Structure 1
Amino acid sequence: MTTVLQPPLPSHPVLRLRLAPRGNLPRAIDGAWWPRSYDLLTELPRLLGGLPREWGHITSVTVNGTTWSAVPGRTLVSNQVVRLHRTRTASAPRTIVLLAPGRGRWDLLVVPPDTTEQAAESLMAAAAGGHV
């Protein structure tokens, strides 16, 4: 009998995030995020943990209320309170808005979790390049 060892699964899946280069001009979209599900309480800690340190502590997150699973008004991420807001406006059906007091606001395109890898890569590249 032969035993084949399987490599361990990563405990933290790779964050699928692409950010636009920093610049002085304001942008409509600051990058793209491709979550693995619409469960915000599972996905948000991964996203916030992978953001650049210079963005500071994100204290408020706004998502489309018709897209994401139900969420409470706030949650703890890395022992810090993050306020969660849901909007139903048609102007931002596939975005997530991140706010850090004194640092800024960032709007990310949300690539649907069930998007193929090829389509997701194309969407993320376009968002990071300012073509969305």
Structure 2
Amino acid sequence: MPERRTVVDGAWWPRSRDATAELPALVAAVDERLGRTTLRVGLHRDAWQHIPHRFPARGRQVRVGWFRYTDPRVITLTFAAGEPVVLLIIPPDTAAGPAEATLNLTAQDTAGLTTGAILALACPSPGAAPRAPEDGSARWENEGGSVTGQEAQAST
């Protein structure tokens, strides 16, 4: 079955899968950045631990809905006015380089790409991971999200 196309508006790199610990900071940051008021958060039930029914945020309670039939790699924020925002979740244990590449990639035009394709572009599978030369000449190229000065080598 082909992957459902979920249009993402950005990405989020939480520190853990503990929804109670992570959601308040996310909502505060999104509210401030967008100048909007988040009323509800929707997430995949099996992708998170300690999911609250609601949590406090700047003088209100934000409701949390959890579902089993949504993409576990995204979180949806619904506001008092305007369209919802869908964020691609970068797994908490992702290394800094690939996580930053994913953040940069989702800031660009990702129209037509599935969430899996975005993650694959920014975070290639370990079998295709480039290997750093021993002389330390490799460096991360921020704009393209690639490693320069390295040769790709499949692990065996």
TM-score, normalised with respect to structure 2:
0.61
Gaps of 5+ in 2: 1-5, 111-117, 119-156
Give the drift of 1:95. 0.4
Higher relative contact order (CA 8 A, sep 6+): 1
How many residue pairs get aligned? The number is: 105
The sequence identity of aligned pairs, in percent, is 32
What residue number does 1:125 align with? Answer: 104
Q: Distance in 2 between matches of 1:39 and 1:130?
A: 30
CA-atom RMSD, angstroms? 1.8
The match for 1:83 among 55, 63, 77 is 63
Q: Distance in 2 between matches of 1:115 and 1:86?
A: 23
Give the drift of 1:70. 3.0
Greater helix share, structure number: 2
Deviations 1:67-120 (A, max 9, x none): 10132322212331111011112x512101000022220000000000000110
Secondary structure of 1:42's match? helix
What residue number does 1:56 align with? Answer: 36
Letter paired with 1:116: A
Larger radius of gyration: 2
Q: How does 1:61-80 map to 2 (within 5 A)?
A: 61-80=41-60
Give the drift of 1:49. 1.4
TM-score, normalised with respect to structure 1:
0.72
Q: Distance in 2 between matches of 1:63 and 1:33?
A: 13
